[in-house]
Amino acid sequence: MPLPSATEPSGVPAPDLATDPATGPATDRRAALRARHRRAIVDAAASLMEENGGARFTVDDLAARADVARRTIFNHFASLDDVVVEVCEDVLGTVVDALGASAADPGTDRTTPLDDVTAALRGTDLVGPMAYLTRALGGTATEPTPRVTTMVVRTFTHLAERLVAETTRRHPDVDPLEIEMLVGALMAGVLVIQRRWWAATGATDDDASRRVWADLLDRLVDRVRAGWASPA
């Protein structure tokens, strides 16, 4: 039950700062607390994944590391897999960050959405994050397990949604459907070459692995740019 508000000398009740709709401090505090809890959960999951060599932890482990109650985790996430996906999105989100940052580059010659997205993919270190995700998701063989495949697809799907939003913002005169199809084609291709890269390199992070990835990415970009009407 809320405490009664104090009364100012003029006889006009002072606003209850805990519930005043004009300022909404209680709502702001709740939102800030939720944001802190969510960040703590994701950071704790990332830490446990790194320590355990994969997503090998329980809800109790995660709650203890994040210093929250079990129910708090499920207030934010439907399952532990959802937490892991958000960790993966954080790691791969550098692609979207690179695209957004490039908007301020003076004299940029990236005149089309394809130029923008491919420049972001080429200019961002994806090998390091993908090697990390391989370890974090427990992948050790040259072929990902069905669970790892599902997690990677979910992560790249969410990444594609963010890329669509950022590319649409940067190119307001382009039909949004064209941007969605472009990003969809590129990200589907990235999923294909990610499997090829994994099979060829064991998802390691070294110079040879980076050369394999760069060659595969170049081939993908060239194919998307040329289309499929005839061989590249």
Nearest-angstrom CA–CA distance, 152 and 55: 13
pLDDT under 50 in the chain at which residues? 1-19, 104, 106-107
Residues 63 and 147 in one domain: no
**H-assigned helices in the chain:** 25-52, 59-66, 70-76, 80-92, 94-102, 113-123, 127-136, 146-170, 176-201, 207-226
189 within domain boundaries: yes
> Residue 73: how many CB atoms within 10 A of its CB?
24
48 within domain boundaries: yes
The pLDDT assigned to 143 comes to: 65
16 within domain boundaries: no
The pLDDT assigned to 13 comes to: 45
The pLDDT assigned to 122 comes to: 85
Residues 208 and 145 in one domain: yes
The pLDDT assigned to 62 comes to: 96
- What is the residue range of 44's domain? 25-77
Residues 109 and 72 in one domain: no
Residues 33 and 101 in one domain: no
144 within domain boundaries: yes
- In contact, 14 and 8? CB cutoff 8 Å: yes
Burial class of 195 by CB neighbour count within 10 A (0 to 12, 13 to 18, 19+) = middle
Residues 109 and 215 in one domain: yes
Record the pTM. 0.68
Nearest to 98 by CA among 75, 68, 119, 69: 119
What is the number of structural domains in the chain?
2
214 within domain boundaries: yes
The pLDDT assigned to 147 comes to: 72
Cα 196 from chain centroid (whole Å): 22
The pLDDT assigned to 24 comes to: 66
Residues 219 and 127 in one domain: yes
- Is the dihedral angle over the CA atoms 64, 148, 151, 169 positive or is it negative? positive
108 within domain boundaries: yes
Residues 115 and 200 in one domain: yes
Residues 66 and 107 in one domain: no
Residues 194 and 152 in one domain: yes
The pLDDT assigned to 180 comes to: 96
